[in-house]
Amino acid sequence: MNKERRNLLPGVPKVESPFFADFFEQGSTSPAVYDAAVQLSENGYAIIDFPDDQINLVAERIKRDLHDSYDWDAFLSTGVGLRLQDAWQTNDDVRRLAVNQAMIDLLTTLYGRQAWPFQTLNFPVGTQQHFHTDSVHFSSMPERFMCGVWVPLEDVGLDQGPLIYYPGSHKWPVYRNEHIGHRHCDTFSTSQSVFEEMWERLVEVNKVEPVRLEIPLGKALIWAANLLHGGDTQHDKNKTRWSQVTHYYFDDCAYYTPLNSDLPAGVIDYRRPFNIVTGKPLENFYLGKLIDREFIESVSPRSARANQPVAHFDAGAYLRANPDVAAAGEDAFSHWTKHGRAEGRALSPDE
């Protein structure tokens, strides 16, 4: 058995490090930890037993308590996905799954930094969402120190719109706006659609076949930040697909949204994520040193938007996007230059 060596790449999660064998060796840790580490390293995801012996009862309570929070008629008529963000704030069972100490300890071991949950999403049906990587939405500097844990709250089969993912895609580079020739500050759009053609082509040229997750209640799926994943078509709308996603960050990072950032141009959409365990927001750090909040504000998209040129200002679109301005009878251009830019107002309803 090899003694664990000094980590020469502390800015890379241990489970994704080229020095993986320095940290994980069969027999040097528990079989469950070693198996999860190997799955994540090779495939970008790991299927584990969720560490809560009351998961059946917890799942039933969540389904009962959250049922009326969703627009079921909209789903049945249009197929639109249903989700509830951060229900942990009002539901103790949602929070219980998110702050599960055994899960946090496992993620901390796998990544080599203290893990903590910052967001929950609860779904009663399939998302049917285009496959994507979380790295464009929830990222960190250094990169890849974020992961998701998907917990089924009932048995999930192929006709319920199961999770779909592409094994090994987590090993591909993390592509951001500058790689696809997109400037966020040109449109200030927050849609991931600008990446979708590129993701589709990556899957095609790498000849990666998708996996659809059939999974029983009691299991859970951990996935890496850069793993391509989404929601398959829900073929039977009369069935549910109850599940909970918890997103986790790790200590001593800067947290930001690449989709809303133009790093080479000095625009960074820093996050101040909320640690669900402690009930406090987390600051941004770079190699152990706090990043000044004044700097964070100075490079934010909000500041960039306030300085955006107005040569192509569309007064009608601005008023449609800001009905309170229209209702007040204010001049669109005057409001934009005096207030709207600084407030980060949308220039059109499409934003």
Domains, the chain, with CATH or none: 14-298 (2.60.120.620), 315-351 (no CATH)
What percentage of residues in the chain have a pLDDT greater than 70?
93
CA distance 229 to 344: 31
Give the global pTM: 0.86
Extract the tokens encoding 64.
């009962």
Count other C-beta atoms under 10 Å from residue 186's C-beta: 10
Over residues 171-175, mean pLDDT: 97
Over residues 163-188, mean pLDDT: 94
CA 318 to chain centre: 30
Please write the tens of the pLDDT for every residue from 237-275: 889 999 999 999 999 999 999 999 999 999 999 999 999
pLDDT at 180 over 80: yes
pLDDT at 2 over 60: no
Please write the tens of the pLDDT for every residue from 17-61: 999 999 998 888 899 999 999 999 999 999 999 999 999 999 999
Which of 64-68, 80-84, 127-131, 246-250 has the lowest average pLDDT?
A: 80-84
Q: Using CB atoms within 10 A of its CB, is residue 255 exposed (0-12), middle (13-18) or buried (19+)?
A: buried
pLDDT band at 167 (very low <50, low <70, confident <90, very high): very high
Q: Using CB atoms within 10 A of its CB, is residue 316 exposed (0-12), middle (13-18) or buried (19+)?
A: exposed
Please write the tens of the pLDDT for every residue from 137-158: 999 999 999 999 999 999 999 9
240 closest CA partner among 100, 342, 122: 122
pLDDT at 116 over 90: yes
Extract the tokens encoding 113.
């930094």
Helices assigned H by DSSP within the chain:
20-23, 31-43, 55-66, 72-78, 92-98, 101-111, 177-180, 184-187, 193-206, 293-298, 301-306, 315-321, 323-327, 332-335, 341-343
What percentage of residues in the chain have a pLDDT greater than 90?
75
Quick one: pLDDT at residue 204? 98
CA distance 143 to 130: 23
Place of tokens 């910052």: 118
pLDDT band at 341 (very low <50, low <70, confident <90, very high): low
Question: Reduced to 3 states, what is the DSSP secondary structure of residue 26?
Answer: coil
Mean pLDDT of the chain: 91
Helix axes 31-43, 101-111, angle to 10 degrees: 60
pLDDT band at 1 (very low <50, low <70, confident <90, very high): very low
Quick one: pLDDT at residue 249? 98
pLDDT at 71 over 50: yes
Torsion of CA 116, 91, 36, 242, to 10 degrees: -140
